[in-house]
Amino acid sequence: QLHPVESGGGLVQAGNSLTLSCAISGRTFSTAAMAWFRQAPGKEREFVAQISHSGDITEYADSVKGRATISRDNAKNILFLQMNGLKPEDTAVYFCAAYATSWQNRKYSYWGQGTQVTVSS
């Protein structure tokens, strides 16, 4: 079992940066792929980025490519998402997800409660 808990959300101005963190309890953190998703008001949850268990493979949604960096610290069981050049359309609840059942299809087993990111124009 993995239990993700997100933090770091808040209100930021457009153009600024923000780093989200996800602390994950559980012994299998270092063997599990991890990901970030987000859900904007009135929209379906969408994929943002994912990272392999070792951290050497990453993938990003086109909407954040070049502006986002996903990383992980396997010694501390923490997943990160750094977002630069934030836009109002980045406003959403951001979710941490753990343990990919399908890397290709971006399916994950464990989910956090989410952290709100609001970008003002």
- CA 105 from chain centre, in angstroms, equals 16
Question: Which residues 6+ apart lie within 8 Å of 58 measured at CB?
Answer: 49, 50, 51, 52, 70
Which pLDDT belongs to residue 1?
74
31 Ramachandran zone, left/alpha/beta (phi>0; psi -120 to 50): alpha
pLDDT(31) > 90: no
| pLDDT tens readout for residues 110-119 | 999 999 999 9
Q: Given the DSSP bridges, would you call strands 115-120 and 10-13 parallel, antiparallel or unpaired? A: parallel
pLDDT(3) > 90: no
Over residues 94-107, mean pLDDT: 95
Which pLDDT belongs to residue 85?
97
pLDDT(62) > 90: yes
Per-residue pLDDT band at 26 (split at 50, 70, 90): confident
Handedness of CA 112, 23, 26, 96 (dihedral sign): positive
Per-residue pLDDT band at 30 (split at 50, 70, 90): confident
